[in-house]
Amino acid sequence: MKYQSVPQGQALRDLERAFKNFLTIPKRGFPKLKKKGKKDSFYLEGTIKILKINYIKLPRIGIVKTYEILPSVPVKNVTISKKADNWYISFKYDYQPSPTTKERDIIGVYLGINALATCSDRTKFANVKLYKQAKKRLTRYQPCVSQKKPGSKNRWEYCQNY
């Protein structure tokens, strides 16, 4: 069954699945409508192409620039969702894993404090002290954040100076 408009068709398929679950699975409640502004998302399928490293062409929307590098694979469908005032795109594609060659035999790894990891072949990985860096930044930002109202322009501008 092919719908003329894909987002409305997907909404009808989701509604059908919700009613089937309501009627067949015991303890399932009556389907509820999605509230506007909460978990906004929609579904697209059709001629979706990845043009360059970070550009994707969507049906009825056009070319959209992304901030991440996209793999050059044929895309099946796309879900576009809004979270925290930002729009995110997720897509499905067929992934064909390629087998990797074995570089060495068994290796032991010791997790330590001075070095993050030390391997049995004496390879050392440095310990990135992210906790200490984050703690320093927190002590610097905490006074300005605690005195301002959440979401206020004054709080946002004051914290941008740090």
pLDDT of residue 162: 57
**Tokens (6 digits) for 139:** 């002590």
Which phi and psi angles does 72 have, rounded to 5°?
-90, 80
Q: Which residues of the chain carry a pLDDT beneath 70?
A: 1-8, 158-162
pLDDT of residue 129: 77
Its pTM stands at 0.50
d(CA 152, CA 7): 36
pLDDT of residue 3: 42
Strands 86-93 and 109-111: unpaired
Given phi > 0 = left and psi -120 to 50 = alpha, else beta, which region is 137?
alpha
d(CA 66, CA 88): 9
How many C-beta atoms surround the C-beta of residue 50 within 10 A? 18
Straight-line distance from the first to the last Cα atom of the chain, in angstroms, rounded to the nearest whole number:
56
pLDDT of residue 7: 65
b/e per residue 71-84 (b: at least 16 CB within 10 A): eeeebeebebeeee
pLDDT of residue 122: 85
Alpha helices in the chain (DSSP H): 6-24, 130-146, 153-160
